[in-house]
Amino acid sequence: MAFSELIGQNEAKKRLGVSLTGEPGHAFLLVGPSGIGKKTLGREFAKGLLCSHPTENGACGSCPGCHYMQAGTHPDYKELLLPQGEKNIKVADVRSMILSDVGIMSQIAERKVYLIDADGLAEEGQNALLKTLEEPPKHVVFILTVSDESKLLPTILSRTVSIRLLPNTEEEVKEAILRRNPDTLPEEAQLFARFSNGVIGYALNLCESNWLINDWEEVTDLILRMPEISRTELLTEVYSFFDEEKDHFRDILSLMSMVYDEMAICATDSSSVCLHGEEKKDKMVTVIRKNHLDVQKIGKCNAILTTAAKAHKANGNFEIIVCRMLLALKKENMNG
Ligand SMILES: [Zn+2]
């Protein structure tokens, strides 16, 4: 797979591509949120570094080095990742996999490449790696990935060339989803893409679980019924929905906020394209007109959700937060 086959991250790919055709540095740091594709890009860059004929578009894909990388058996490439269920990479593993290995000459390629998940390195592990990072053997390139740079020692940061991976656009995420799961409905792919905030890995996880689609339906119906719903029903049935979904309360708030955003768009331009599809959209427009909802009122609803999210983050009482929020939303959705 060449760089051009990876979706998005054009700036990062360009910078890495330049390194492939020139003299690459010894240590790179790929920075970006979890699920953004740091390891995928890091592996592709490693493949380019170990390829006999790399271009700015990455590895050639057909030389022996590329074949070994594709098969996962390149003797000059190693990954040091956080083992599942562990909190940190063991310092002993840093020593055995990296420190005692870097001095040995490469077997096939001109160099050796190490991909290291730096999120898994506690201070002790980072310290163990530091000296080698400061004075790496000529034939060695390190690719570190990290989601939280602030956990890295300043000395690690200063020894690495940092390359930032930015959130993908909604269209790019949608493309990634449809490429992996061609059967996904386009409007569902759009919903996953929007909810994932540009993080492809997260969007792909969402595709594999049902909760987002189910809860999206649920909160949309709730919001559309809000003007008619009684206070008693709000504090009993509706509350129990939130109670059951307690574990991802803030995700539910984000979903609700997305529904209100859609309503705000519909309120200004009823011919706009809607994430909900035509049928729900018509219902939405009816509710908006019937209850004289305008952008300002809808904006207030979003502010109510933000207040609830803040209170929840500050560990406020769940029942009070939810009931207050529902009653405040109800008040905003009263006719007139
Ligand atoms: Zn190649």
pLDDT, tens digit, for every residue of 244-257? 999 989 999 999 99
CA of 145 relative to ligand 1 center, distance in Å: 23
CA of 163 relative to ligand 1 center, distance in Å: 23
CA of 160 relative to ligand 1 center, distance in Å: 25
* Chain position carrying tokens 């920075």: 31
> Which pLDDT value is given to residue 335?
59
Task: Report the distance separating Cα 137 and Cα 70, nearest Å.
Answer: 26
- Residue 36 DSSP code: S
Please check whether residue 213 is in contact with residue 191, taking contact to mean a CB–CB distance below 8 angstroms.
Answer: yes
CA of 70 relative to ligand 1 center, distance in Å: 10
CA of 2 relative to ligand 1 center, distance in Å: 10
**198 — alpha (psi -120 to 50), left (phi > 0) or beta?**
left
CA of 62 relative to ligand 1 center, distance in Å: 5
**Which residue segments constitute the domains of the chain, with CATH numbers given?**
3-164 (3.40.50.300), 210-332 (1.20.272)
Q: Which residues of the chain have pLDDT under 50?
A: 336
Task: Report the distance separating Cα 210 and Cα 249, nearest Å.
Answer: 16
CA of 174 relative to ligand 1 center, distance in Å: 30
Return the bridge partners of 55, or none.
Answer: 58
- Residue 58 DSSP code: B
3-state class (DSSP) for residue 169? coil
CA of 47 relative to ligand 1 center, distance in Å: 7
Please check whether residue 138 is in contact with residue 25, taking contact to mean a CB–CB distance below 8 angstroms.
Answer: no
Element (H, E) at 164: strand 161-164
Residue type, 184: T
Please check whether residue 209 is in contact with residue 203, taking contact to mean a CB–CB distance below 8 angstroms.
Answer: no
pLDDT in tens, 212-258: 888 999 999 999 999 999 999 999 999 999 999 999 899 999 999 99
CA of 69 relative to ligand 1 center, distance in Å: 9
CA of 52 relative to ligand 1 center, distance in Å: 5
Task: Report the distance separating Cα 9 and Cα 271, nearest Å.
Answer: 33
CA 247-304-257 angle, to 5 degrees, is 65
> Which pLDDT value is given to residue 182?
93
Please check whether residue 47 is in contact with residue 13, taking contact to mean a CB–CB distance below 8 angstroms.
Answer: no
CA of 205 relative to ligand 1 center, distance in Å: 31
CA of 240 relative to ligand 1 center, distance in Å: 58
CA of 107 relative to ligand 1 center, distance in Å: 15
> Which pLDDT value is given to residue 33?
93
CA of 166 relative to ligand 1 center, distance in Å: 27
CA of 309 relative to ligand 1 center, distance in Å: 50
Please check whether residue 158 is in contact with residue 134, taking contact to mean a CB–CB distance below 8 angstroms.
Answer: no
Walk across the sheet containing 27-31 and list its strands: 77-80, 112-117, 140-146, 27-31, 161-164
User: Euclidean distance between the first and final Cα of the chain, in Å?
Assistant: 58
CA distances from 163 to 127, 130, 146, 152, 286 (A): 22, 19, 10, 15, 48
CA of 68 relative to ligand 1 center, distance in Å: 10
Helix then strand then coil, in percent of the chain rounded to 5, is 60, 10, 35
CA of 204 relative to ligand 1 center, distance in Å: 29
CA 140-144-149 angle, to 5 degrees, is 145
